């Protein structure tokens, strides 16, 4: 992945991390709202990172 | 809880940790690198667990539980955002630190900065900021242990007993075999932290709520305000920003990017750490919800976990106590070892470059004693500014971020830019924290990060970059391709 693409994705991720709970989930009193969102987002990032580094050292 | 039980738990725990440290010493070789970073021979699991145990301190089961108890789901968002940033930084900077450290035999993160900026003064300033910010932060770990044993025994075990036992244990671990014993005991402590907290969480869910499902229903019905997100954005950003850059700016964790023995261990370190952090964060916040449902109305939210401990059977309370004690001990031992390496490599060797490696180890051990003594004295006075001190430590270290990022990615970054941004940014941030100055409502960390970045860029543009800066970055990019950390241009086509 090119550095610029990576940077754009990272900035988009930070925006999603902040904006989604504030704009769409803030008032929902449920574990299925902000709690689930941040948990799922973090899990996705970890899975994506695992996929990205899988090929390290193989080339 | 009877003081005898607390004493037995602490003594047993100390004995096990001492046994692990002794076993680690048998594997220790000669040289400063061996002592301070385990000779770069750590395997993936131990690397990941020492990274996790160093990162996650008693804050998780005391501070984060309290934060969730008081202000709900924002606490989870804050901690998960930290984890997201850390995973990304480990993927981006892990290979860079690892390659450069291996090639140029760096032992401390400031040494890397000194190399890239061709200025030993940069290392001295980075090390000085680390001392100023991390000694009070280490004292907070000791104070946490003191308050915990005092509270658990209803004041029958004095505050200073907890402080001294933890100082002794973490100091012994670092002294005895350096990084190898710290990393091995960290691995044991990390597993203990995770296992004990899972047992306790499940027990409380079944014992007091009937089942995990009932627990969720109870919180949703009785504490709906803790599931909505009403944090002021300035608070969320101010609190999260310093922690987001923790992986880069805190030398006790960035130094751990040097320790894996090979690429596969580096990969495993990242994955094990991420998995640990993910689970431990969820567990800690769920404890906060359990405490909120079971113990409403506590004046001090930091008392939520210690109070929860008094509600569970003695054995379980001791198990959780050991988990918290382990978390604080492992963080403290790692910081003491790292700061001692900074003292020797970045301060003493700056003054007297020809210090023999044997002497480096001796000086490192002496520095540990001095650092521990300073932390104990600090804890003895029990400053009432614990929260401010903790925030200042993370916010203050943030001023190193532009210089660290620029070292790897910006050829125009200069030593003068790095020096001025760190020194001026550090002083301004500390003054704002201590003076409780929040211009326009934004936290000192946000101002500090902004001012530091502007200073680093502006001063660098008006000064001459080091002659080898371009060569350093070109070499690193070639190595990243050669070692398979990123696909080469040829193979992408």
Best of B79, B88, B214 to disrupt the A interface by mutation (most A CBs within 10 Å)? Answer: B88
The share of chain B scoring above pLDDT 70, in percent, equals 97
Cβ separation of B83 and A42 shorter than 8 Å?
yes
Lookup: tokens for B482 = 């050669």
Name the closest residue on chain A to residue B273, using Cα atoms.
A46
- For the question of whether the overall pTM of this predicted structure is more than 0.90, the answer is yes
The share of chain B scoring above pLDDT 90, in percent, equals 61
For residue B316, what pLDDT is reported?
84
Name the closest residue on chain A to residue B485, using Cα atoms.
A56
Helices (H), B105-245: 109-117, 120-152, 159-209, 212-222, 233-244
Residue A21 has pLDDT above 90, yes or no: yes
Q: Is residue B56 within a helix (H) or strand (E), and if so which, with residue range?
A: none
What residues in chain A have their Cβ under 8 A from chain B's Cβ atoms? 1, 3, 6, 10, 13, 17-18, 21-22, 25-31, 33-35, 38-39, 41-43, 45-46, 49-50, 52-59
Residue holding tokens 């504490």? B223
pLDDT digits (tens, 9 = 90+) for B253-302: 999 999 999 999 999 999 999 999 999 999 999 999 999 999 999 888 88
- Half-sphere exposure (CA, 13 Å, Cβ side) for B454? 8
CA distance B485 to A14: 24
Is the Cα torsion angle A21, A23, A27, A29 positive or negative in sign?
Answer: negative
Cβ separation of A49 and B87 shorter than 8 Å?
yes
Residue holding tokens 């580094």? A53
For chain A, the straight-line distance linking the first and the last C-alpha, in angstroms and rounded, comes to 15
Which chain B residues have a beta carbon less than 8 Å from that of A31? 216, 219-220, 227
Which chain A residues have a beta carbon less than 8 Å from that of B81? 17, 38
Cβ separation of B233 and A22 shorter than 8 Å?
yes
Phi, psi angles (nearest 5°) of residue B260: -60, 145
Reported confidence tier of residue B318, pLDDT bands at 50, 70, 90: confident
Lookup: tokens for B304 = 């939520």
Q: How many helices (H) and strands (E) does chain A have?
A: 2, 0
Please choose, from the candidates B383, B330, B31, the residue with its C-alpha nearest in 3D space to the C-alpha of residue B191.
Answer: B330
Best of A43, A53, A54 to disrupt the B interface by mutation (most B CBs within 10 Å)? Answer: A53
Identify which has the larger pLDDT, B306 or B111.
B111
Cβ separation of A57 and B88 shorter than 8 Å?
no
Q: Which residues contact A4 (CB under 8 A, 6 or more apart)?
A: none
Q: Give the closest-approach CA distance of B74 to chain A in angstroms.
A: 8
Which chain B residues have a beta carbon less than 8 Å from that of A6? 92
pLDDT digits (tens, 9 = 90+) for B434-478: 888 999 999 999 999 999 999 999 999 999 999 999 999 999 999
For residue B24, what pLDDT is reported?
87
Cβ separation of B76 and A35 shorter than 8 Å?
yes
Residue B489 has pLDDT above 70, yes or no: no
For residue B384, what pLDDT is reported?
61
Q: Which residues contact B332 (CB under 8 A, 6 or more apart)?
A: B57, B138, B141, B142, B166, B167, B170, B375
Lookup: tokens for B378 = 């600090």
Which chain B residues have a beta carbon less than 8 Å from that of A57? 262-264, 267, 483-485
Q: Indicate the burial class of A53 (C-beta count within 10 angstroms; 0-12, 13-18, 19 or more).
A: buried
Asked whether B47 and B265 are in contact (CB, 8 A), the reply is yes
CA distance B228 to B416: 46
B80, B484, B491: residue with CB nearest A38: B80
For residue B493, what pLDDT is reported?
45
Q: Give the DSSP letter string of B36-90.
A: HHGGG-B-HHHHHHHHHHHHS-TIIIIIIHHHHHHHTTHHHHHHHHHHHHHHHHH
ipTM exceeds 0.90, yes or no: yes
Measure the CA angle with vertex B391, ends B439 and B248; round to 5°: 105
Cβ separation of B278 and A29 shorter than 8 Å?
no
pLDDT digits (tens, 9 = 90+) for B353-398: 888 888 999 999 999 999 999 999 988 887 665 656 766 787 899 9
Asked whether B277 and B83 are in contact (CB, 8 A), the reply is yes
């Amino acid at each position: 992945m090119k550095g610029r693409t990576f940077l754009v994705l990272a900035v988009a991720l930070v925006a999603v991390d902040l904006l989604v709970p504030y704009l769409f989930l803030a008032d929902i009193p449920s574990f299925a709202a902000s709690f689930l969102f941040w948990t799922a987002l973090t899990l996705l990032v970890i899975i994506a990172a695992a996929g990205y580094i899988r090929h390290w050292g193989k080339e | 809880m009877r003081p005898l039980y607390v004493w037995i738990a602490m003594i047993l725990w100390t004995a096990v940790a001492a046994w692990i440290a002794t076993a680690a010493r048998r594997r220790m070789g000669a040289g400063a690198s061996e002592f301070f970073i385990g000779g770069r021979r750590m395997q993936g699991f131990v690397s990941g667990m020492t990274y996790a145990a160093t990162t996650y301190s008693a804050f998780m089961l005391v501070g984060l539980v309290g934060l969730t108890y008081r202000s709900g789901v924002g606490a989870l968002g804050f901690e998960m955002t930290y984890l997201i940033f850390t995973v990304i930084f480990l993927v981006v900077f892990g290979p860079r630190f690892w390659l450069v450290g291996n090639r140029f035999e760096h032992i401390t993160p400031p040494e890397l900065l000194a190399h890239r900026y061709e200025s030993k003064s940069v290392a001295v300033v980075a090390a000085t900021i680390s001392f100023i910010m991390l000694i009070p932060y280490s004292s907070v770990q000791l104070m946490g242990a003191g308050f915990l044993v005092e509270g658990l025994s209803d004041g029958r075990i004095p505050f200073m007993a907890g402080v001294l036992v933890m100082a002794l244990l973490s100091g012994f671990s670092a002294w005895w075999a350096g990084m190898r014993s710290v990393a091995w005991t960290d691995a044991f402590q990390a597993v203990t932290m995770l296992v004990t907290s899972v047992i306790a969480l499940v027990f409380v869910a079944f014992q007091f709520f009937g089942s995990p499902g009932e627990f969720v229903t109870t919180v949703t019905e009785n504490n709906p305000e803790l599931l909505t997100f009403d944090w002021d954005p300035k608070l969320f950003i101010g609190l999260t920003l310093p922690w987001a850059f923790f992986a880069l700016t805190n030398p006790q964790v960035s130094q751990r990017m040097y320790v894996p023995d090979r690429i596969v261990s580096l990969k495993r370190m990242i994955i094990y750490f991420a998995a640990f952090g993910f689970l431990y964060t969820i567990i800690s916040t769920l404890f906060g919800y359990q405490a909120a449902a079971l113990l409403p109305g506590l004046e001090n939210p930091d008392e939520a976990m210690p109070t929860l401990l008094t509600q569970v059977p003695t054995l379980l309370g001791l198990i959780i106590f050991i988990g918290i004690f382990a978390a604080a001990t492992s963080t403290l031992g790692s910081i003491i070892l790292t700061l001692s390496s900074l003292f020797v490599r970045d301060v003493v060797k700056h003054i007297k470059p020809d210090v023999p490696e044997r002497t480096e180890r001796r000086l490192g051990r002496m520095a540990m004693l001095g650092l521990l003594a300073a932390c104990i004295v600090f804890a003895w006075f029990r400053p009432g500014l614990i929260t401010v001190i903790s925030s200042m430590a993370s916010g203050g270290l943030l001023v190193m971020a532009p210089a660290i990022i620029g070292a790897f990615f910006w050829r125009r970054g200069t030593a003068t830019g790095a020096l001025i941004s760190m020194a001026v940014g550090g002083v301004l941030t500390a003054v704002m924290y201590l003076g409780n100055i929040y211009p326009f409502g934004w936290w000192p960390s946000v101002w500090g990060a902004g001012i530091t970045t502007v200073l680093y860029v502006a001063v660098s543009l008006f000064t001459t970059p080091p002659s080898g800066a371009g060569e350093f970055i070109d070499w690193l990019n070639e190595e990243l391709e050669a070692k398979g950390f990123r696909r080469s241009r040829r193979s992408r086509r």
